[in-house]
Structure 1
Amino acid sequence: MNKLFTICALMVFSAVFSQMPSLDVENQKKHPVTLQEAKIETKILGNLATTTATYTFYNSGSRILEGKLTLPLPEGVSVSGYALDINGKLRDAVPVPKERAKEVFESLEKRNIDPGIIEKVDGNNFRTRIYPIPAQGSRTIKITYHQELKDFASDYQYLLTFANGTVSIPKFNLKVLINESLTAPKITENPDGSFAFEKIGNQWFAEISKENFTPNENLKIIIPKVNLSSKVLLQKTSDDKFYFAASVAVDFPVKEKTKSQKIAIIWDNSFSGSKRNRQKELDFLDAFFASNKDISVSFVLLNNVLEKTEEFTVSGGNWSALKNRIVDLKYDGGTDFGALKEVSGIEEYLLFSDGISNFGDLTIKFKKPLNSIVSTPTSDFNLLKLLASQSGGNFINLNELNTQSALKAYNKQPVTFLGFKENAKIEELFPNVGTVVNEPVNIFGIAAPNLGKLTALFAVGTKKYEVPVDFTTAVKVDNWPIAQFWAQRKINDLELNSTQNRDEIRNLSEQFGVVSKNTSLIVLDDVNDYVRYGITPPQELLAEYNKIVSRNKKEILEKRKNLLSKSFNITRELVTWWNSEYKPAEKKQYPKISNQSLGSNKDQVQDDAVYNTENERSARSEGKITLIEVESTEEYMKDFQNLQSSELIYQKYLENRSKYEKQVTYYFDISKLLFRKGDKVLSLKVLSTLAELDLENEELYKTISYLLKQRGNYEKELWITQKILEWRPFDSQSHRDYALALIDNKRPQEALDVYKSMLYQEYSDEVSIRDNGIEEILIMEINNILSQNKNVDASKIDDRLKANLPVDIRVVINWNKDNTDIDLWVTDPRGEDCSYSHKSTEIGGRLSNDFTQGFGPEQFLLKKAIKGKYKIKTNFFGERQNMLSGPTTIMAEVYLYYSDGRQERKIAVFQSQKVNKRESDSKILIGEFEF
C-alpha cells in the first residue's frame, strides 16, 4: 500500500502592537523567511484613522512553507480589509463564516493551491494563514484596520509602534495624511529624522521611503483638535438614510467614587501572565496604595484553578509584604475564568489579567464592582470590559494610559450615555443607551437626513449633563468608511455576548467585511474555486463568476457527502463478520515482528505465547489488559530521574522551563511524570499550560483532551472537546471526540444525538476521502451506547444501523494531527499480525480502514479471543513536522469485552519519538492482552 509522508514547515510571525512583524520559524536553525518590504499608509480625519499595512515576505529556503502571522490590535479595533498576491497582483478577500473559511482553506491546501485567510482568534488577536510561500520566492499581504484615536486634553494621539526593531528592512515606506487640521500636527516620536509634515491643500502630508532601513523609534503624532465643539460625519446608506459618526466634546466635572476599606485583588498568574507588563501593574498599585493608605486586601491567584485567598493589611500606604508576594510569583498553568468566585466581605475587586480564558468559560456575574486592569496588547478587551460593566466597575487599559491617568480612570465615577434628548429618527445607536463611555466619545448610528440640532445626554452618578450635537453642519464623506466604523462598533458591542449574538455578528461581518469571532476574510486563487465553494468573489472576478454559475454550476459546485448510506453497508458487513466462524489451521507459522526497544520497560515484555489448538474454543477465561508506559527519550528528562517528590520535580520544571518554553513535549512529559507521582493538582497545572502556547490550536487541545480522558477528568475533557468542535465543525473527528466525552460524563442520550447528526452532516469531498472508513468506528460506538444504556431513546437511529456486536477485544487509536499516517498493529498468540497490509486474521481479527492523511481513528476488533498473549503496537509512518504543537500525540483506547456487561477500558497516551524509521523495529509496543 502506498503511504503518504508529509513534511510541512510552519513559520510563525508574532507582532505585539507592532507594525513590523517579527518572524519566528519553529525548529529551524536559520530564519529562511524575511520581511522584504513594508509599506504603511495611514489616513486621519478628526479622531478617526484608517491604516493599511502591506508586507512582502521572502523565503530564501529550499522548501515550500506555510505562513502564520498573529497580529494583536488595540482595544475596539478590528481588521476590515485583507488582500493576498495572486499571480503578482493583490486580490481583495471576501467575508466567509469563520469555520467555513478554515474548511475551504484546508481543502485547497491539500490540493497544493494557494488560498489565504485572516481570522479573529482569542482576545483581539488576528491570525492570517498563507500557503504556499514558495522556495526562493515571496508572498505579499495587505491588512487594513480602522481605529478611534485616543483623547488627550486638547489633542488626539496616533501611535505606530515598531517594537524596538533591530532588523533592517530592504524596502520601507511610511505615509501619513491628516485631513482638515488647522494646526500643524506634532511628531513627538520619529522613526526617522526626515519624517516631517507639509501642508498640501487642506491636508497635512508626510512620507519617507528608505532602503535597508531600521526604525529608530516609534511614530507618535499629536493632532490638535479642530475645535472643542461636536463634529458629525455622514456616509450615505443604500437607501435615503446616512451612517453617521458624531465626535462629541465632553468636559464633565470629575466625580470620584467612594473609597473602599476592603478590596480583593485577583491576580492571574497563569503562564501567559508572565507576558504581561508587570512593571506597569506594579506602578499602578504603587499609586493606588499611595491614594488608599489604610486598606485590607484579600489576595487570590487565578490560573487553571482559583487558589486559596491570602489576607494582607496595608497601613500608611506600606504594601511591601503584598508587593514582595507579587514579585516572587511563579507563572504557570492555563486560565479558567469558570473558576472565579466572589470573596466574602469585600467591597471591590481589582482583576489583573489578559482576559483570555483557555481552560473554562466565565460563568459568574460579580455583585460588587470589579475593575479590570489590562497591561498586554494581546488581551481579550471585550471580556474584561464585560466583567467591569456588569458589576459597575471601571475598565483600565494600561497599554494606553500612564500611571496617573490610569489611577484617575479608576477613581472616577463612570460616564453613562443616555441617548439623545429629542425623539430623533435615529436607528442602531452605538454606544447603547445606558452603557459606560470613555473619551473620546464617538456616537455612531443610522439616521434620516435633516436631523437638525440635537442634544446628547450623559450621566455621572446622579448628575445629568447635556451636550449639543449639530447635524446641520454635518460633513458628507462618501470616500471615508463610516459604515465600517459603525459596523465595527456594533460588532464590538455584540461580542460582549458573542454566543447569544452569533448570527447577528456573522451577518454584520459578512455585510461590511469586518473580521469577527464568527467571520473571516478569504482569498482564493481560481474563480472556479469561488464557484465550487459557493463564495461570492471580489468585484474583479464577479462577472466571470456569474457567467460560470449560469453556464455549468452543477458541474463545478463543491461535492459534499454524508456518512449515512455507507454506514448502512458497513453495518451489514460488520454483522456478517460477527456471525462468521473462524477456524484457523493448526501449527501454522507466521513471520515474527522484532520488538521495539523499550528502554526501562523492556523487562515488562514477555515472549509471545505459543498457540495451543486445544484451547482455541475452550470456555473464555478472564482477560487482562497491561499497558506499557512509553518513556520519553528527551534529553531534559535526565534532570528529573533522581527527583523523588512532586514538589522537587515541579521546582525543577519551573527552573528549566525557559530553555523549553515552546517545546510541547516538555509540558507533556513533566505532566505525566507528576501524575505518576500521584500529584494530580500540579500535573493538571502543567498540562493546562499547553493551552497557553498558542491561540485556538486544536492540536494542542486534542493533546490536552487525551490526557484528561486518560486521567478521568471528564468535565474538563468535555469543555476542551466542545471548544475543538466550535473551531472545526467540518471534521467528523471533532463531533466524535465530543460525543465520547459526553459518554464519559454519563450523558449517553446527548452523545447518541451527536452521532446521529454526524452521520447526516455533509462533508467536503476532501474530508470524505480523507476520512473514508470512519463509519465502521462510529457504528460500533453507536451500538455500544444502545447496549450499555437501555433507557436511551433510540427511535431516531435508523434500524439499519442497529446491531448487537459484543467483542472480546477492541483497540482504537486516535491522533491529534491532520496529514498524519499512524498504523495500528495487533499480534495474536499465534504470531499473526493484523495491520494495514493484512486486515483479517485467521482467528477473526479485523482492522478498519487505513487512515493515511487525517486524524484517524483506526480500530481492531476480535469477537472471540483465544488463550494467550496479544501485543498492541503503533507505527509512525509519516507525520507533520516542525509544528508549534510538537510531535504527534496518540491516544489508544483498549477494551476488554466491549459492548457486553463486563466492558473494561484502559487508555494509553504518548507522543512520537524524535526518530521515526520505517523499519519494523520502529514500532512502539503500547500494551498487551492476556487470556
Structure 2
Amino acid sequence: MKKINCFMATLLFSVAFAQFPILEIGNEKKHPVILQEAKIDTKILGNLATTTATYTFYNPSNRILEGKLTFPLPEGVSVSGYALDINGKLRNAVPVPKERAKEVFESIERRNVDPGIIEKVEGNNFRTRIYPIPQNGSRTIQITYHQELKNFASDYQYFLSFANATTIPKFNLKVWISETAAIPKILENPDGSFSFQKQGNQWIAEISKNDFRPNESLKITIPKNQNSSNVVLQKASGDKYYFAANVGLDFPVKEKPKSQKIAIIWDNSFSGSKRNRDKELQFLNAYFNDNKEVSVSFSLLNNTFEKAEEYSISQGNWADLKNKILNLKYDGGTDFGALKEINGVEECLLFSDGISNFGDFIMKFKKPVNSISSTPTSDFNLLTLLANQSGGNFINLNELDTSAAFKAYKKLPIRFLGFKENQNMQELFPNIGLVISEPVNIFGITTGNVGKLTAVFSVGNEKFESPVDFSKAQLLENWQISQFWAQRKINELELNSTQNRQEIKNISEQFGVVSKNTSLIVLDDIDDYIRYKITPPQELLAQYQKVIANSENKVLEKRKILLSKAFDKTKELKTWWNTEFKPLEKKKYPKVANQSVAEPQANAVMSEVVNSGRVDMSMEIYSDKAIKKSQDSNGKITLIDIESTEEYMQDFQNLQSADVIYQKYLENRSKHEKQVSYYFDVSKLLFKKGDKVLSLKVLSTLAELDLENEELYKTIYYLLKQRGYYDKELWVTQKILEWRPFDAQSHRDYALALVDNKKPQEALNVYKSLLYQEFTDEISTRDNGIEEILIMEINNILKQNKNIDGSKIDDRLKADLPVDIRVVINWNKDNTDIDLWVTDPKGEDCSYSHKSTAIGGRLSNDFTQGFGPEQFLLKKAVKGKYKIKTNFFGERQNMISGPTTIMAEVYLYYSDGRQERKIAVFQSQKENKKESDSKILIGEFEF
C-alpha cells in the first residue's frame, strides 16, 4: 500500500528586532495562530542589558502546525537562552552543532513529538522551529539575549519597539535598573502609566494588562552614576574572573580628509527595497552638504555588478543622483562575488544589507570602503569586515541618527591597542588592533585584583590613553558576564567564520550562545537526549547520567552507512543487467487503486491537461549538449512544454519583447511578492524570449524570499542546471550541502554539479565520502534504496573519464552498466511523495507497484518521505514509443517555498559513449492542495 503522509501545515512567524512579533501564514488572509500572551523582562546594569521575552501562541484551527519564527537582533547581539514548554513547563535548551540540531529536529519531528531549536541564519538573523503546535492548543517559547546599550554624553539609552503590535490578550512588561542614583527617564511610554519606583538599590517599572495594544514603544534613558564602578566581574574557575570594563575615550576626534572622487555602490537587489531609503538619502544629503565639490562613480549591485553613471556634484547639488536613486528598480539576488574594484576613486560608500545569497565575497578593496546599513536584518559582520579590511568605517543607521552617523563616517578609525600593564589579562575583546566604536566596552579574563590599568588606543599615527580602575570592580552573582564575553568573542571570530569554524563551535557550545555553527535544542524526553548523545539541561541531568551509567538500559541512536547496502545493490544491478529479457505479447495490467492516468499527447496544449482533471504541471525544457553523441543514435527524446495556468500569466499573453514582459513583472510583483511560482514562471517566459540576463535576475530573486531555505535553493539549482549555468549550480549546491550535510541528496547534488563543471575526480571523492557517511536511522530509512542511483552515477563517471583515479572506489562497487534509457526525477521538498511512471511500447507500466517489466525495465525504490530521487533503467530498448509520467502524490505544506518543484533528468544511451541528456523542470500548480489521483505525461522516448 502507498503511504500517505499526515497533513501538516507550516506556520511562518516573522519579527524584526525593534518590532513586535508579526505572524505570517503563507497567502492566507487570516492568521490561524494568534499571540495569546507576551511577557518581557529586562534587567539593566550600567550599559549592560539582559532581555527575556516569553511568547505564547494559540492555534485555534483543527490542524497541527509547525512553527517558524525568524527575527533579527542588533549588531553584536546573539541569542543566549532558549526554552520551550514541555508538558506545561518551560525546558531550557542546550547547545548542539547547527547541522546536528537540524538533523535531530527533523528525525524526531517525524514521530510527531515536541522538539524545538533556535539557530542563526544569514546575517544576524535567528530562526526558531517548533513542532507540533497542537490543534486548539498553545505552545510557549522563551528567548534571552544580552546587549550593550549605546552610550551618550551623560546617559545610556534602552529601546524596545512595539511597532505593528496588535491587541494582546495578556501582556506584561517589567524593567529593573540597578546601581543608578538618579531616576531613569521614560521618553516613550507604552500606555502612559509605565513609571519607575525605587526599591532598595533598584528602579523597577511594571505594567500588566489584559487585551492590551501599546500606544508607543518603550524608550528609557539611564543617567550615568559617576560614583559607581565602570568594571564588573563574574567568578570563573580558580582565581580567574570574567570582566566587562566600560571605558570612556576622552581625546579629540580626528577627522579624515575629504575626498574629491568617490564611488557609491548601491545594492538594488530585491532585498534592497526593504532598506530604510529615507535614512540613506538623509545620510547622503549630509555628506554632500559637507563635501560640496565631488565626483561620484555610481554603480549597482544585485546578481550582477553594473557601473551605471558618473556624476559631478557642484555646490552640494546632487539632485540628478538623488533622482536616479529614487527611480531605481529593485530585483535579483545579491552576489558580492560580482564586486569589482572601481579605479580612480579615493574611497567608496557601500549601501547594502551585506547578505550575499548568490555568490561569495572574494575580493579585497584597495581603497577604504565605508559600509552603510539601514535594515536590522543586515549581515553586520560582513559589513564590518569590509570596512575594517579596507580602512573605512562601518555606519549602522539602525542605531544612529543622521548627525551621529555622519560624524562616525568623518572620523578616523579608532583602534584598541590593549592595556599597558597586560600581565594578568587574557582573551581581550575587542581584539588588539581592531577598530572600535566609542565609548567602548572591553571584555576579558583576569586574575585577582589587577589595580589601576591604562587602556591604549590609536587614531591615525597618534596614541591615546584612558585609565581603567579595576580596584573598584564590582563582583556580580546574577549577571552572565561570561556570556557577554563569549558573545563578543564569537562576533570577532565570525569576521572570518570559515577559518575559525571549530573555535566558534567550541565557544558556542561551552557558553550556550547561538552562532553560525551552533544552535540550541530542546527535546521531548530523556530517551531522546540519550539516543542522540545530547547532554540535557540541569533538571534532567541526574536522570540522564543514571541511565548512561546503567549500560543495560542505555538507548543508543542508530547510525547507518550506505556502503554495505551499496555492495548488495551493485550485485543486484549486475544480475539485472546480465539477464536476457524476452518480452511477451502486449498485456494489460490492472490499474492500481487511486492511481488513475491522464496522458495528453506529446504535442498537447495546456487546455488538454486542464481538462484531464489532474494536477497541472508547468515546466521548461532545454537540451544539454550530447556527450560523445554518435551519428548512429536511433533514439529520440521529446519533452512536453506545458504552460502555466496561473491567473497572473494572462497579463503576459500578448506581450512580445522581453523588456516589456519584465516591466509588467515589476509592475505586478507586489501582488505576488511571496509567490514562488510567479518568479519561476516569469523567469521561464523571459528565457524562452531569449533574454538570459533578465531571466537569471528574476530567478535569483527567489534567494531573497527567505533565509537559508533549501527548498527555494533547490528550485534555483534545478533551473541553473537545466539552463547550463554550471558555475552558479556548483555554488548553490555547495550552500545546500553546508546547510544539510545529513542528507544524502545534498552530497549527490553537489557531486553532479562537480561533474557538470568538468571536475569528475572531485565528484568521485564526494560520492565515496557519501557512501561512508553516517545517517540517523530515520533518515537512512527515509532514503532506503538511494544506493542504486549512486552506483549508476559512480560507474558513469568512471566510464566517461578514463584518466580518473578510481583506486579509492571499492572494486565491489564497480560495474559497467550502459543502458539505452535512464530517467531520474528529483524534487525540492522533504516529506513529499512524487512517483515516476514509464510506459513501454508494449503498454506495460513500470511504477512503484510494478517495478520490473517484461522487456527489462527497472524502477528504483519508491521514496515517500524525502527528496527522492527515483530512477528508471532499461538496458535494451525495443522499437516504439515510451511515455514518461510523474504522479504527484502528496507534499508537506511549506508555503514560503511554494509548490513542489520537480527536475527530470532524461538520458539516451547512458554510459555507453553516446550519452545524451535533456532536463525538464516543472512545478505543481495546485499549490497546497493534495491530489492523490494525478499523473501527468512529461515526455517520450522513441526508438
Please indicate, yes or no, whether the TM-score normalized by the shorter chain is above 0.5: yes
Unaligned runs of 5+ in 1: 606-618
Question: 2:482, 2:213 → 1: CA distance?
Answer: 36
Indicate how the Cα distance of structure 1 residues 103 and 356 shifts in structure 2: closer, same or farther if over 3 A, else same. Answer: same
1:327-726 alignment runs, 5 A limit: 327-552=326-551, 555-589=554-588, 594-597=597-600, 600=605, 622-726=634-738
Q: Which position in structure 1 is the counterpart of 2:902?
A: 890
1:192 aligns with 2:205: no
Residues 657-687 of structure 1: CA deviation (Å, up to 9, x unaligned): 0000000000001001111111110000000
Does the 8 Å contact 1:230/1:468 carry over to 2? Answer: no
Does the 8 Å contact 1:591/1:831 carry over to 2? Answer: no
1:769 aligns with 2:781: yes
Question: 2:633, 2:431 → 1: CA distance?
Answer: 71
Q: Which position in structure 2 is the counterpart of 1:253?
A: 252
* Equivalent of residue 889 in structure 2, options 858, 877, 898: 877
Secondary structure of the residue that 1:929 maps to in structure 2? strand
* Equivalent of residue 806 in structure 1, options 800, 814, 818: 818
Indicate how the Cα distance of structure 1 residues 621 and 376 shifts in structure 2: closer, same or farther if over 3 A, else same. Answer: closer
Secondary structure of the residue that 1:74 maps to in structure 2? coil
Question: 1:659, 1:228 → 2: CA distance?
Answer: 58
Does the 8 Å contact 2:581/2:855 carry over to 1? Answer: yes
Indicate how the Cα distance of structure 1 residues 917 and 422 shifts in structure 2: closer, same or farther if over 3 A, else same. Answer: closer
Residues 769-788 of structure 1: CA deviation (Å, up to 9, x unaligned): 10000000000000000000
Indicate how the Cα distance of structure 1 residues 429 and 594 shifts in structure 2: closer, same or farther if over 3 A, else same. Answer: closer
Question: 1:129, 1:539 → 2: CA distance?
Answer: 22
Residues 258-316 of structure 1: CA deviation (Å, up to 9, x unaligned): 11001000000000000000000011111111111111000000000101331111111
Does the 8 Å contact 1:230/1:248 carry over to 2? Answer: no
Deviation of 1:64 after TM superposition, in Å, equals 0.7
Deviation of 1:164 after TM superposition, in Å, equals 4.0
Deviation of 1:882 after TM superposition, in Å, equals 4.6
Question: 1:531, 1:604 → 2: CA distance?
Answer: 52
Deviation of 1:424 after TM superposition, in Å, equals 2.6
Aligned residues between the structures? 916
Farther off after superposition, 514-523 or 458-467: 458-467
Secondary structure of the residue that 1:362 maps to in structure 2? coil
Secondary structure of the residue that 1:556 maps to in structure 2? coil
Question: What is the aligned-residue identity percentage?
Answer: 77
Q: Which position in structure 1 is the counterpart of 2:624?
A: none
Question: 1:770, 1:594 → 2: CA distance?
Answer: 27
Q: Which position in structure 2 is the counterpart of 1:818?
A: 830
Q: Which position in structure 1 is the counterpart of 2:213?
A: 214
Deviation of 1:71 after TM superposition, in Å, equals 1.5
Does the 8 Å contact 2:271/2:704 carry over to 1? Answer: yes
Taking only aligned residues, the RMSD between alpha carbons, in angstroms, comes to: 1.6
Question: 1:182, 1:912 → 2: CA distance?
Answer: 65
Does the 8 Å contact 2:889/2:932 carry over to 1? Answer: no
Does the 8 Å contact 2:547/2:553 carry over to 1? Answer: no
* Equivalent of residue 923 in structure 2, options 905, 911, 915: 911
Q: Which position in structure 2 is the counterpart of 1:733?
A: 745
Does the 8 Å contact 1:248/1:442 carry over to 2? Answer: yes
Residues 143-177 of structure 1: CA deviation (Å, up to 9, x unaligned): 00000000112111100011142x10011110001
Question: 2:225, 2:793 → 1: CA distance?
Answer: 69
Residues 794-813 of structure 1: CA deviation (Å, up to 9, x unaligned): 11100000000000000000
1:832 aligns with 2:844: yes
Q: Which position in structure 2 is the counterpart of 1:144?
A: 144
Secondary structure of the residue that 2:605 maps to in structure 1? helix
Residues 400-430 of structure 1: CA deviation (Å, up to 9, x unaligned): 1111111111111111111111243111010
Q: Which position in structure 1 is the counterpart of 2:105?
A: 105
Question: 1:604, 1:80 → 2: CA distance?
Answer: 53
Question: 1:553, 1:235 → 2: CA distance?
Answer: 42
Residues 744-784 of structure 1: CA deviation (Å, up to 9, x unaligned): 00000110010001001110000011000000000000000
1:128 aligns with 2:137: no
Q: Which position in structure 2 is the counterpart of 1:612?
A: none
Secondary structure of the residue that 2:448 maps to in structure 1? coil
Secondary structure of the residue that 2:742 maps to in structure 1? coil
* Equivalent of residue 751 in structure 1, options 763, 766, 771: 763
1:240 aligns with 2:239: yes
Question: 1:393, 1:111 → 2: CA distance?
Answer: 52
Residues 220-251 of structure 1: CA deviation (Å, up to 9, x unaligned): 10011112897111111122111111111112
Q: What one-letter code is carried by the residue in structure 1 that aligns with 2:513?
A: V
Question: 1:869, 1:769 → 2: CA distance?
Answer: 35
Q: What one-letter code is carried by the residue in structure 2 that aligns with 1:798?
A: D
Question: 1:230, 1:259 → 2: CA distance?
Answer: 40
Q: What one-letter code is carried by the residue in structure 1 that aligns with 2:857?
A: G
Question: 2:341, 2:633 → 1: CA distance?
Answer: 55
Residues 625-669 of structure 1: CA deviation (Å, up to 9, x unaligned): 111113211111111111111001100000000000000000001
Question: 1:230, 1:455 → 2: CA distance?
Answer: 15
Does the 8 Å contact 1:229/1:248 carry over to 2? Answer: no
Q: Which position in structure 2 is the counterpart of 1:608?
A: none
Deviation of 1:19 after TM superposition, in Å, equals 5.6
Deviation of 1:589 after TM superposition, in Å, equals 4.7
Q: What one-letter code is carried by the residue in structure 2 that aligns with 1:427?
A: Q
Deviation of 1:587 after TM superposition, in Å, equals 4.6
* Equivalent of residue 852 in structure 1, options 856, 864, 870: 864
Secondary structure of the residue that 2:836 maps to in structure 1? strand
Deviation of 1:792 after TM superposition, in Å, equals 1.1
Secondary structure of the residue that 1:839 maps to in structure 2? coil
Deviation of 1:18 after TM superposition, in Å, equals 3.5
Secondary structure of the residue that 1:884 maps to in structure 2? helix
Q: Which position in structure 2 is the counterpart of 1:7?
A: 7
Question: 1:470, 1:555 → 2: CA distance?
Answer: 53
Deviation of 1:552 after TM superposition, in Å, equals 3.4
Q: What one-letter code is carried by the residue in structure 1 that aligns with 2:762?
A: E
Q: Which position in structure 2 is the counterpart of 1:119?
A: 119
Q: What one-letter code is carried by the residue in structure 2 that aligns with 1:196?
A: S
Q: Which position in structure 1 is the counterpart of 2:52?
A: 52
Does the 8 Å contact 2:22/2:164 carry over to 1? Answer: no
TM-score by length of 1: 0.97
Indicate how the Cα distance of structure 1 residues 218 and 715 shifts in structure 2: closer, same or farther if over 3 A, else same. Answer: same
Residues 493-537 of structure 1: CA deviation (Å, up to 9, x unaligned): 000000110000000000000000000000011011000000000
Does the 8 Å contact 2:229/2:473 carry over to 1? Answer: no
Does the 8 Å contact 2:890/2:930 carry over to 1? Answer: no
Farther off after superposition, 53-62 or 551-560: 551-560
Does the 8 Å contact 2:155/2:221 carry over to 1? Answer: yes
Question: 2:719, 2:55 → 1: CA distance?
Answer: 40
Deviation of 1:881 after TM superposition, in Å, equals 2.2
Farther off after superposition, 24-33 or 885-894: 24-33
Deviation of 1:336 after TM superposition, in Å, equals 0.5
Question: 2:37, 2:587 → 1: CA distance?
Answer: 69
